[in-house]
Amino acid sequence: MKHLQPINQKAGKIEHYLEHDVVALSGQPRGYTVPQQPDSPHIPMGCSLVFSPGWEVDRSGGTAGLCQPVERDLFDCHLGCFWPAHVPDQLNHSPDWTSKCAAAQKDWRSLDIIFP
Amino acid sequence: MTTKPREPRIPVAYMLVIGSLIFFAAALLSPRDSIAVSPQSSSQDEEGSDVGIAVEHAATVSNCVSCHAMDDAGRMTRISYERKTPEGWQQTIRRMVLLNDVELEPDVARDIVRYLADEHGLAPEEARPGFFEAERRVIDYDYEDDDTEVLCIQCHSMGRVITQRRTKEEWELLVAMHRGYYPLVDTQGNPGFRRRGPPSSDGDGPSDSRHPMEKAIDHLAATYPLETDEWTAWSANRRAPRLGGRWGIAGHSAFSGPMYGFVDVTPVEGSEGEFTTEATLTNVRSGEATTRTGSANVYTGFQWRGRSTDPGEGDSMREVMFIERDWRRMSGRWFTGAYDEIGLDVTLYRADGPLITGVYPVALRTGAEMEELTIYGINLPTDVQPADIDFGPRVVVTEIIDAGADAIRLRASVATDAAIGKRDLFVGAAARPEALVVFDTVDAVRVTPQAGMARVGGVVAPKQFAQFEAIGVSNGPDGEPGTDDDLDLGALDVTWSLEEYSATFDDDDIDFVGELGADGLFTPALDGPNPGRSGNRNNVGDVWAVATYESEELGRPLRGRALLIVTVPLYLNMRGWEPGR
């Protein structure tokens, strides 16, 4: 890039980001390589990489693509049993999980962690 | 264990309606979908089939027979056609209690788990590949069959799958159970249990019209059948192991470094496979000794499940170990923490003679003079002379500072031209292969784990901590980095810091995720939406944990780094009571 000069703001930003190792600009979502890293995202136990977004990590193996804040989306996960190993499911295990908490984004402190 | 009174559940009707619609629609759409879900259909009805393990245990029969019918050969539906680990059977019983209103006293439940894990369990060869599941180890695991792997790991670890053995009908029923309890699995994820379009064709060959779940069932039934040669041989050979006596222990934890000591194992009188333990462990960095008392059950003749507590600290650790067939060695993980993330990797050696468990420090530099080193072990000779201690060519023990039965402190020198590499250690009649590393330079710093995970917590959810360790690496005899002969030199004293892992433009995770302490322990920030962050995001993010080592010989710092994922909590924790408690 040294022989090119940015002539507008956007080009200036791109140059800035390229100098600062933005992973999103440097490879494909899966199978990317960064120094000292294995060439595929780490799959810790219990993690799910396959949904987009995932629970612990997104398809790229990072957190940038997760539903955020998680509380905003939590009841959908509960009602649809979308994350049955991560969120109590409404159909069977925890039909009353949301009874103390009408809107998770406001009342998230009333949520219970379930130990079935 | 008793069930709490259950309130009427409105969603039952909803579930039944959805469930029946799904199965009805599935049956209409494709005859291939008609997976057997009849709860009482059993493999013993198949013509000429004699598979199935008879249930000969009064408590199991009396508590389960009202739903699981028994045939003339003593085989019960479902139960006789599955084999699992103690954790697998515990999960089954927990589901029966939670969802099917079974009422069991805790002692009876434990008795049933013990019987089923022993008689409907796994052989050692079958359990070993998935042992990480019981050890609660966070590892990278790559399963051989991609179709099956992708179907299972969208919700849970593959370890849960590969530690089960079933008939084909049982694998079908397991899939049916998932579809019944979690109806969205048919369509959610990529892929769901059912294919959502025309079958894909590979080149010129005929397309595979099976649904993803059918591919998985075919694979699992072929790879993990109920009857195997390994299980036949092990069930003929299995007995309660006699493990009483003193065991030397070598442990390592990223939290505390190397730990050496001994465990006294005492059989519980009148029991089979039950033990009490008393362990003394010395943290070699601080020199501090701690004791732990505990108890354990051994399932299926080789699966140690215990719990031990430090009476002073009151901290309790679960113990999961694999006992080798010669009853001379067992290894596994002792762990605690809200997410089982704080663990000690242990190996126990039977100590019926002199035994070396390890040395500290684990590496000596060429040219080192009068370097202090300690040999840890059991029944070591107290009258040992420098000449009795053999680290191999050109490593000379110059002085014994102090010789005790469990530790020998000494000084050793290494010639400047000594060959670098791993050295076996002999002390009299005791030996420890590859006990010491001789090296010339610290060429790199490797941060372990290479990918760590923490979870925000402290308000609703507990925190999941992440501990990093900086290991010195020598390039080994070939002088090339990243080759098989690289040498691990043990933990280094380093300076820890966090750096941004820029996954997006203007990534600011580092300002929110938490703190990395001087000891390499990462403490995540609080859970909950953070009003101080754009979009009220949680304090999640991706950062580098960076270790900086001031290398005197190179005259410049060496750096190593590991990716740290700080992520959201789990709102469902499937632990609870465990086998061996």
Residue extents of the structural domains in chain B: 11-237, 245-350, 355-439, 444-567
Please count the CA atoms within 13 angstroms of the CA of B510 that sit on its side-chain side.
Answer: 15
Output the pLDDT for position A77. Answer: 82
Q: Note the CATH number of domain B245-350.
A: 2.40.128.120
Average pLDDT over residues B162-190: 92
Q: Please report residues of B whose CB lies closer than 8 A to that of A42.
A: 140, 450-451, 453, 563, 565
**Minimum mean pLDDT range among B24-33, B368-377, B515-524:** B24-33
* Bigger pLDDT: A109 vs B438: B438
Question: At B313, which amino acid appears?
Answer: E
Question: What is the band of B190 on the pLDDT scale with cuts at 50, 70, 90?
Answer: confident
If you classify domain B444-567 with CATH, what class do you get? mainly beta
Beta carbons within 8 Å of B66's beta carbon, 6+ residues apart: none
In a domain, A97, yes or no: yes
Model confidence at A28: pLDDT above 50: no
Section B265-287 average pLDDT: 94
pLDDT of B157 reads: 86
Spatial distance between the Cα atoms of B287 and B474, rounded to a whole number of angstroms:
27
State how far the Cα of B565 lies from the Cα of B138, in Å rounded to an integer. Answer: 13
- CA-based nearest residue in chain A for residue B543: A62
* pLDDT tens-digit readout, B297-350: 999 999 999 999 998 877 899 999 999 999 999 999 999 988 899 999 999 999
The whole-angstrom distance between A103's CA and the closest CA on chain B is 13
> Which among A63, A88, A90 has the least Cβ separation from residue B565?
A63
A45-49, B72-76, B327-331, range with the lowest pLDDT: A45-49
**How remote is the C-alpha of B545 from its chain's centroid?**
23
How confident is the model over B111-136, as a mean pLDDT?
A: 96
Compute φ and ψ for B115, nearest 5 degrees.
Answer: -60, -50
Give the burial class of B528: count Cβ atoms within 10 A of its Cβ; 0-12 exposed, 13-18 middle, 19 or more buried: buried
User: Residue A116's pLDDT is what?
Assistant: 52
Range scoring the smallest mean pLDDT among B105-109, B197-201, B312-316, B543-547: B197-201
**For residues B102-113, average pLDDT:** 93
Q: Say if A77 falls within a structural domain.
A: yes
Handedness of CA A95, A96, A102, A106 (dihedral sign): negative
Q: Hey, what are B109's tokens?
A: 């439940």
Work out the average pLDDT over B101-106.
Answer: 91
Q: What is the pLDDT of residue A1?
A: 53
Q: How far is B87 from chain A (nearest CA, A)?
A: 14
pLDDT confidence of residue B572: 82
Residue A90: list chain B partners with CB under 8 A: 11
- A85 lies in which domain range? 70-107
Alpha carbons B490 and B492: distance in angstroms, whole number:
7
Q: What is the pLDDT of residue B523?
A: 98
Give A-chain residues touching B141 at CB under 8 angstroms: 43, 45
pLDDT digits (tens, 9 = 90+) for B219-247: 999 999 999 999 999 999 999 999 999 99
B123 dihedral zone (left: phi>0; alpha: psi -120 to 50; beta) = beta
Q: Please report which confidence band the pLDDT of residue B35 belongs to, taking 50, 70 and 90 as the band edges.
A: very low
Confirm or reject contact between A30 and chain B (CB < 8 A). Answer: no
**B423 beta partners:** B436
Q: Residue B539's closest chain A neighbor by CA?
A: A69
pLDDT band with cut points at 50, 70 and 90 for residue B161 = very high
Residue B352 predicted with pLDDT over 50: yes
- Establish if A116 touches chain B: CB-CB under 8 angstroms: yes
Q: Tell me: the pLDDT tens digits for B373-387?
A: 999 999 999 999 999
Q: Which two tokens stand for residue B334?
A: 């002792």
Q: Work out how many domains chain A is built from and give that number.
A: 1
Query: What long-range pairs does B286-289 form, CB within 8 A, spacing at least 24?
Result: B289/B261
**Helix count and strand count (H, E) for chain A:** 3, 0
Among 2.60.120.1440, 3.30.390.10, 3.30.1200.10, 2.60.40.10, name the CATH number for the domain at B355-439: 2.60.40.10
For B281-293, letters b (16+ CB in 10 Å) and e give bbbbeeeeebebe
Would residue A98 count as lying in a domain? yes
Q: Residue B27 pLDDT more than 90?
A: no
Contact (Cβ atoms closer than 8 angstroms) between residue B418 and residue B395:
yes
Q: Does A36 touch chain B (CB under 8 A)?
A: yes
Distance from CA of B461 to the nearest CA of A (A): 7
Q: Do A92 and B15 touch (CB under 8 A)?
A: yes
Is A66 in contact with B568 (Cβ distance < 8 A)? yes
* Active-site amino acid positions of A: 73
> In the sheet that B389-390 helps form, which strands lie side by side, from edge to edge?
B363-365, B430-439, B421-427, B389-390
pLDDT band at A51 (very low <50, low <70, confident <90, very high): low
* Interchain pair B140, A85: CB under 8 A: no
Chain A residues near residue B99 by CB distance under 8 angstroms: 92-93
B449-B450-B454 Cα angle (round to 5): 60
Q: Is the pLDDT of residue B16 over 70?
A: no
Q: Can B245-350 and B444-567 be said to share one CATH topology?
A: no
Residues of B in contact with A91 (CB under 8 A): 11, 14-15, 181-183
Instruction: Give the best-scoring range by mean pLDDT among A7-16, B205-214, B322-331.
Output: B322-331
B428 three-state secondary structure: coil
Domain assignment of residue A2, yes or no: no
Give the mean model confidence (pLDDT) for residues B131-152: 90
Pairwise CB contact (< 8 Å): A116 & B572: yes
Mean pLDDT (chain B, rounded): 88
A90 domain-assigned: yes
Residue A93 lies in a domain: yes
Name the pLDDT band for B14 (thresholds 50, 70, 90). Answer: very low
Give the tens place of pLDDT for each residue, A93-114.
888 888 877 777 778 887 777 6
A55 in contact with B at a CB cutoff of 8 Å?
yes
pLDDT for A33 equals 38
